[in-house]
Structure 1
Amino acid sequence: MTVVLFAALSSIAFGGSDFCGGLASRRFATLKVLVVAAPATLIIDLAAWHAFGGTWSVSAAAWGGISGAAYAVGFGLLYWCLANGPIIVLSPVSATVSALIPVAAGLSFGETLTSVGLAGTVIAIVAVFLLGLSGDESREVSTRPTMLTLGAAIGAGAAVALQLICLDRAPHESGMAPIVAGSAVATLLVWTAVPLVRARIGSDGRLRDWSAAIAAGVLDSLATIAFLLAVRAGDLAVVAVITALYPAGTIVLARLVLRETVSRVQFGGLLTAGLAVTLLALSS
């Protein structure tokens, strides 16, 4: 039950992070959002390292560093596509990819699923798919993604999957060290990209807009920490599937804040997601 709890917390935090990051990217360039979000993630990760400790090793630093590079790419693509397309559709597409790849990786690592766990996994993937089906068009943004935004969502899902797999591969005795290494590498890559693309990081924008970028970073850190704690106590295949249900939170926020339309099918996806989590909890 502890595994499912941490995985569910990770899912909720990832959903909030995606929404805040996508919202901020609608007001600023995606790179600007990451310039603020990545250091915010690093600060929280450092606080977690101080609180929970961690043992450094070449393996911990390497796996953490690769996860950080995947984070920078994945969330850059994700925030961009959510800023330029319907959050209510693209977030589930990304989540589906980020679930399927870790499940396949976990099974290849020798993990097994009980019949109940397998049923929960299948239902969870169906739930994510249903969450991505749009109904009527929103008043504020078309629910039909372009091929470019759809490709970015798929690429983001693959990068996030790599991030999760790397965190799973890091030594269990390393504590919070891998996530600190990851957020440090991500921050370095993002800030290095600023002069390379000659982006100007100005102070324009309202406080609320910058707060959304900071919130995205903080929530992403909390999601990653919860994921790490979950995967240390359970299997990657199960934890990744529960984590991938994060579009449920993103969709609820998109509906409440942006007034994006939630179709009956998507509402069914929310209910299906609840069933999937229940089954996965019973299997753990």
Structure 2
Amino acid sequence: MIALLLALGSSLTYGCADFLGGLGARKAHVLRTVMVAAPASLAVELMLWPVLGASFSRGALGWGALSGVASAAAFALLYRTLAIGPMNVLSPVTALVSAALPVGVGLMQGEHLTAAGLVGLPLALMAVVLVSAGHGAGSARSSRTALLLAFGAGAAIALQLVFLHQAPSDSGVAPLIMGRAVSSAVTLVAAGLLRRRLGPEKPAYALLAGAGVLDSIANLLFLLAARSGDLAVVAVLTALYSAGTVLLARGVLSERIARGQLVGLGTAAVAVSLLALP
């Protein structure tokens, strides 16, 4: 139950972070946006160090660094994807892709599901698929480029989660700190190399800083959930973060929600209930 609640908290926080990041990235070059969000995330994780502790073992540093590279790619691809829009189509596609790899890895590592879990996990995946079905009547259609970016973002997010899960369970927040330090460094180097292409547009600093802070909290909640539960279950629940982005896009930007997406939200509620059963 603790892992379930942590995963749902991570999902909600990721959804809010992605919404703010997508809004903040709409006018400025994506690298400018990541240059704000990634250091903001690192600052939060450094503040958590004295509270939660950190053991910088070789495993923690190695897996954390790999997660940082994946995180830098995820930040750039995801914010660019959401900036193109529509959010209510592309965010769920990203979530669907990001769920598949961690679920597969968890099952291959020998994780076992309860009878209720055997029903709840496919239902949760189905919920992500239904929420992904954004092409209802009158809904906006995404371009092929935007869909490719969404798939790439999903793959990068999946790798980030898998790498964090592989870090030693007694390493505290060390993998998060290492990962965010690497992603910040990668972003700054890329921005320096491409500085002439960044353009004069300034990003929405407050929105992107908020997105970075929320992303850091979501990473922490996921890490704690994965350490106390099965990766397969935690990953698919985390992938439901798109529901939060979709609802925020509907309330703030008036983007349409297709009927199938509403069914998906209901299916997700049933799936979560089943996964909560012992």
User: TM-score normalized by structure 2?
Assistant: 0.96
1:167-193 residue CA offsets vs partner (Å, 9 max, x unmatched): 110000101100000000000000111
In 2: Cα distance, 1:200 partner to 1:236 partner: 38
| Structure 2 equivalent of residue 166 of structure 1 | 163
Kindly indicate whether the alpha-carbon contact (under 8 Å) linking 1:32 and 1:201 is maintained by their aligned counterparts in 2. no
Give the drift of 1:242: 0.6
Task: State the alpha-carbon separation in 2 of the partners of residues 279 and 223 from structure 1.
Answer: 23
Aligned-pair CA distance for 1:279: 1.2
State the Cα deviation string for residues 136-186 of structure 1 (Å, max 9, x = none): 335xxxx21111111111111111111000111000010110000000000
Contact 2:40 2:209 in 1 (8 A): yes
Aligned pairs (5 A) from 1:53-92: 53-92=53-92
1:193 equivalent in alignment to 2:190: yes
Relative to the length of structure 1, the TM-score reads: 0.94
Q: 1:229 aligns with which of 217, 220, 224?
A: 224
Amino acid in the other structure paired with 2:211: A
What amino acid is the match of 2:248? L
Asked if residue 251 in structure 1 is aligned to residue 246 in structure 2, the reply is: yes
Q: Distance in 1 between matches of 2:201 and 2:155?
A: 33
Shift of the 204–107 alpha-carbon distance from structure 1 to 2, 3 Å rule, reads: closer
Once the two structures are TM-superposed, the CA of residue 77 in structure 1 deviates from its matched residue by 0.6
Displacement of 1:250 after TM fit? 0.3
Q: For the residues of structure 2 that align with 1:104 and 1:15, how far apart are their CA atoms? A: 23
Give the Cα–Cα distance (whole angstroms) in 2 for the partners of residues 179 and 74 of structure 1: 15
1:59-82 deviation per Cα after TM superposition (whole angstroms, max 9, x unaligned): 100000100110100121111111
Q: CA deviation at 1:200?
A: 4.7
Instruction: Please tell me whether the aligned partners of residues 230 and 239 of structure 1 are also in contact (alpha carbons under 8 angstroms).
Output: yes
**Identical-pair percentage:** 49
- Superposed, 1:1-284 pairs within 5 Å as 1-134=1-134, 135-137=136-138, 143-198=140-195, 199-200=197-198, 204=202, 209-283=204-278
**Unaligned stretches of 5+ residues in structure 2:** none
Q: Is the 8 A contact 2:31 2:191 kept in 1?
A: yes
The answer on whether the counterparts of 2:88 and 2:255 sit within 8 Å (CA) in structure 1 is yes
Query: Which letter maps to 1:99?
Result: A
Deviation at 1:116, TM superposition (A): 1.1
Aligned residues of 1:103 and 1:241 also touching (Cα < 8 A): yes
| Rounded Cα–Cα distance in structure 1 between residues aligned with 2:215 and 2:63 | 18
Report SS of the residue matched to 1:262.
coil
Structure 1 consecutive aligned stretches of length 4 or more whose deviation exceeds 6 Å: none
CA RMSD of aligned residues (A): 1.4
